Structures are given as structure tokens and as C-alpha cells.
Amino acid sequence: MDEKGFRDYCTKRKLGERIIPLYIKHAKEFEEFLKKRGRKDLNDASSSDVKDFVGDLRENGRITLDNFRALIGYSNFAGKKETVSILFGYLEGFGVPEELFKRLRGTVGESASKEIFEGVDIPPLGSLPEDKPKITGKIMERLEARLDERSLRELMSSGLEVFPDEWYIPQKEMLQKSASLDDFLERRHKEFVETLEKHKKEKTMFFAQEIDEEVVEYVRSNREIQGGVREGEIIYETKIPYQTKKYLHEKDKKMKKYYACHCSWVREAIKSGSPKISPNFCYCSAGYHKRPFEIIFGQPVEADVLETILKGDSVCRFAIHIPKQFVPRALHPAKVISID
């Protein structure tokens, strides 16, 4: 293991002196596991080796978020892109069922929430992605039997994948410095393209996907992707495919949808065809897309699902409703917003 190289990699990413030794420790454990299997190093490892290591950590009660973050960092450092994708498949959506149960209590109460989740064994961190969709299908069936459609969609879009508000403050500041809301959306998209170009240049992964010029150009040509296009009182936003490079080259319609879907709680069901999961589950993704705008605008906003893989579409697309004071003439944001 190139310990010095990995330390320099972590230092460059400002992980901090408390975190870096932990990352190195977890990376060494992974390398030792591989050597016992006769592998020279991480670059010699197979997908089965990676999955077996995660399974070993899970079975021995040693699996943590730090494990995954360290292994993802180490795999990026080593240029092992397939391993990064595998590890993200385990990590994505972690905590969503627990957050759904917590928010459900505020909607239907403790007793009804327990009934909906009765007999549901939520897969722990590190569980195989294939185990997740059957849980999703069962919970969605019970939710749709209990809640009217509006209440269900409000619940699902309430922000089940929680990130700190501080993550979105730079975008709020960008809006204030922009000439208009439309200018902000254009700058937001440009910033995202620049992020992808940086990953392409450094040959690192953007979450679970490899970035090349074809991917960058695909995003650059569609301002709805991680930017948004305003038409009247609505911002239209399209989700970048989960595996854009594979998505662009895939000919099989089912697999194309599989590579488009980001959600680990449904993705494997798209490939296998079972179980059937209600498209209302995708309001969880709508909640993810509207959350930055709630921080940017400083108030709740509504979002609709226009297209989704679970309805048979080839992309996921959302309509985000702009608060009334931001609509007229799309004036300079400083006139209607202040940084708290």
C-alpha cells in the first residue's frame, strides 16, 4: 500500500488530522483482507472480493460510515473505478427508511406508523442492494392503503435523505450575487459542469460514476441537469443519470432505465422486474431536488414528479414551484432575499 501517497491524497482533500489516520487504517485492513486471498493489491481485486469484504465487516459488526468513506477515498486514489461504484451501491440511501418512519409518526401517529412498518426488517448498512426493493415495495403498498395521494406525496417529498442546511448556503449566496433568478440557474449549471470537468481531468469518480468528455458534454447540453430552467413560475430540473456513460451507450431499454436510476431502494427491481414499486416513491427524489431551493429561497417549496423511471420514462424530471415573490420579472435577488 502506498501509505504516503494516500495520506497526501487525503491531505489535499482537507480531511483533517483526526480523519486521515482512520482512513489509512481502514485501507490497510482492506489490503490485508485482499492479500489473504492472494491478491497483490486493490487493483488486483475483483468485485466479489469487494463484496465479500463488506460482508465480512457487516457480519463482524465492524461496518461504519467511516469504513465506506475511507474505502471509497482509497479506491478513488488507486483509480479503481469499479470498486467505487460497488461501494456507493451499498452506501446510497442509507437512513431513508428510518427517516421515513420518523416523519410518518408526525403524519399518522406512533401506533399507525408501527403498523405500517410491522414485520419489516430494515436492511442494515452494508446490506446487498438486491435486498432493498422488497422492503420498499411492502412499505409503499401499506402507505398507499393508509394515506391519500396528496398526503403521501407530501410525506415522501419532505426530505428523507437529509443533508445539513449549510451545504446549500453557497448557492444561496450565489443567488444573491446573481443578476436574476435565471442568471443564477445558468451559473448553477455552469458550476456543476466545471465540477464534472475537474473529475474528468483528475480521473476521479463523481459519486458512483466515471466522467469523460461525453458525459460532460451530455450535461453541458442540458441546462436542466443540476441547474434548472425557469418557465414562468416553475423551475424544471432533470436528474443526471446514475451511470451516465453506461446510460448513453446502452441499447436495452430496461438496462438504460437501470443506469438512469439513482435510488438503491428501487434500482435492482428495475433490472429484475420485481417487485413492482409505486412511482409515488419517486417523490423522495423530488424532495431531494427541492431541498436546495428551500434553503436558497428561505421557505418551503413544492415539487412535482413529471417523469420517472418507475413510470417507464427514460429520465427523472421535476417541476419546482417558485415562491411568488421571486417570480415577477425575475428581479435581482438581493431585493427579495437576505443571507441569515
Q: What is the pLDDT of residue 92?
A: 85
Helix, strand or coil, per DSSP, at residue 18: coil
> What number of H helices and E strands is found in the chain?
16, 4
Helix, strand or coil, per DSSP, at residue 212: coil
Cell 472480493 sits at which residue?
49
Q: How would you write the pLDDT of the chain (340 residues) with one tens digit per residue?
A: 899 999 999 999 888 888 999 999 999 999 999 999 999 889 899 999 999 999 999 888 888 888 999 999 999 999 999 999 999 988 888 889 999 999 999 889 999 999 999 999 888 888 888 889 999 999 999 999 999 999 999 999 998 887 888 999 999 999 989 988 999 999 999 999 999 999 999 888 999 999 999 999 999 999 999 999 999 999 999 999 999 999 999 999 999 999 999 999 999 999 999 999 999 999 999 999 999 999 999 999 999 999 999 999 999 999 999 998 887 555 555 555 554 4
Tell me if 39 sits within 8 A of 52, measured CB to CB: no
Tell me if 101 sits within 8 A of 271, measured CB to CB: no
**C-beta atoms surrounding 253 within 10 Å:** 10
- 147 HSE (CA, 13 A, CB side): 24
Query: How far apart, in whole angstroms, are the C-alpha atoms of residue 163 and residue 82?
Result: 26
pLDDT, one tens digit per residue, over 109-160 is 999 999 999 999 888 888 888 889 999 999 999 999 999 999 999 999 998 8
Q: What is the pLDDT of residue 333?
A: 55
Helix, strand or coil, per DSSP, at residue 14: coil
**Domains and their CATH numbers in the chain:** 3-91 (1.10.150), 165-335 (no CATH)
Q: What is the pLDDT of residue 339?
A: 45
